[in-house]
Amino acid sequence: MRMTPRSVQDLDVWRDSISLVKGIYQITRMWPKDETYGLISQTRRASVSIPSNLAEGRGRGLPGEMRRFAQIALGSAYELDTLLIIAADAGYHDEQRLCALREELASLSRRMQSFIRYQQLKAR
């Protein structure tokens, strides 16, 4: 049985992070236009960094590299969570939408942590 995915698209964490990016782009469209080059840009970049780093790690082909880039992706997830809190404190979106996105992000982060542990074991 093959334990490594043939493509990054085979990874549930990657597919779910793509879904999260779509949600982030939807919500940031409603933020004030004067945040286009500030909070909107930073929030979108942090969200896009998650699946992008997973893809780069997978493309490198080694468990150690996959783990390293998954850790970078996880760091971007934490950054994204902080940016969502800042946006909520600024009143850019409602509490219900914020909670839903943060729950999705928290679930994804937990699964990425498990994925990182798996990669660490695999690299030994």
Segments making up each domain of the chain, as ranges: 10-123
**Given this model, what pLDDT does residue 51 score?**
98
- Render each residue's pLDDT in the chain as its tens digit; 124 residues: 344 446 899 999 999 999 999 999 999 999 999 999 999 999 999 999 999 999 999 999 888 999 999 999 999 999 999 999 999 999 998 788 888 999 999 999 999 999 999 988 877 7
CATH for 10-123 is 1.20.1440.60
Q: What stretch of H or E contains 64?
A: helix 63-89
Per the listing, tokens 């783990």 go with 67
The residues near 81 (Cβ < 8 Å, ≥ 6 apart) are 102, 105, 106, 109
CA distance 97 to 99: 5
**Given this model, what pLDDT does residue 61 score?**
85
**Given this model, what pLDDT does residue 1 score?**
35
Tokens of 111: 């699964």
**Given this model, what pLDDT does residue 95 score?**
82
CA distance 36 to 25: 12
What's the first-to-final CA gap in the chain, in angstroms? 19
